[in-house]
Amino acid sequence: MLETLLKRDRRIVVLAIAAMTAFAWLYLLWLSRSMTMGGSPMPDMPGMDMSAAMAPMLRSWTSADFAFIFVMWAIMMIGMMTPSAAPMILIYARVARQSALEGRPLAATGLFAGGYLLSWTAFSLAAAVAQGALERAAWLTPMMAAANNMVGGIVLIATGLYQGTPLKDACLKQCQSPFAFIQSHGGFGKGVTGALRLGLHHGFYCIGCCWALMALLFAGGVMNIAWIAAIAIFVLIEKVLPTGRLVARFAGVGLVLAGTWLIIRS
């Protein structure tokens, strides 16, 4: 039975990726609906004052508030980034199957994907800290959106400018070429630490490629489902299309123009 499952490892990996992505998006949709109906970004939870939990202008965040925001960001990153990482994970699974590392190709693939998601979990921690700081500075509203057009415009311009930087190009290149990435990092990761480390490396390249795009959530609304979906689709297009780098540059010009327009309006 186990041998039959291992021969179908590609199908298992695809199902696992789909399940994680679906879970994350269901959570985001539920949370967004709770915000729309209840007027608060947080659903009611025992022991938490939800009317105040997301209003740091009235009081400081508690540890429970911060934990909620951190988990929200972590799940959001799974929903947004797992689809665009699927080609790399599937190629790694293929290499793992061919190498048959310790006879456990599925385990190796799981460690690689785990390392990738671990890097985005670290990013989620930084994003939660940034959100708290922006709300304390009154640059974000308690509903997690830019407080005014000036703030939104600055975020758009900063993101647009980053789209044309050499660092963006270098990181995007690593994300666009899975085989080249694996070869440039010593090939298939050996053992638990090797697979996990390679996944972490790939995740950090993706963060270098996409962190500025994630900052757009502060402009359009951290829990704006349409905004989240648009950014996730754009990230996928950047990574999958051969012309992804050109798409990134054109988008950068558009973001700078949109940000300038917002600032002029303000």
What pLDDT score was predicted for residue 187? 66
% of the chain with per-residue pLDDT over 70 = 81
What pLDDT score was predicted for residue 130? 94
Please name the residue ranges forming H helices in 39-143. 50-53, 63-99, 105-136
Query: Model's pTM, two decimal places?
Result: 0.83
Q: What are 244's two structure tokens?
A: 């992804």
Residue with tokens 């349409």: 226
Give the pLDDT band (50/70/90) at residue 179.
confident
Residues 74-84 have pLDDT tens digits of 999 999 999 99
What pLDDT score was predicted for residue 110? 85
Supply the Cα-derived Rg of the chain in whole angstroms.
20
CB atoms within 10 A of CB 54: 23
Residues 21-49 have pLDDT tens digits of 999 999 999 998 887 775 555 444 444 44
Give the pLDDT band (50/70/90) at residue 114.
very high
What pLDDT score was predicted for residue 188? 64
How does DSSP assign 159-190, residue by residue? Answer: HHHHTTSHHHHHHHHHHH-HHHHHHHTTSSPP
Min mean pLDDT across 43-57, 90-104, 145-159 is at 43-57
Residues 203-244 have pLDDT tens digits of 999 999 999 999 999 998 898 999 999 999 999 999 988 888
**Average pLDDT score over the chain:** 83
Min mean pLDDT across 29-43, 107-121, 187-201 is at 29-43
Q: Are 159 and 258 in contact (CB under 8 A)?
A: no
Q: Are 111 and 196 in contact (CB under 8 A)?
A: yes
What pLDDT score was predicted for residue 59? 56
Alpha-carbon dihedral 249, 253, 256, 258, rounded to 10 degrees: -120
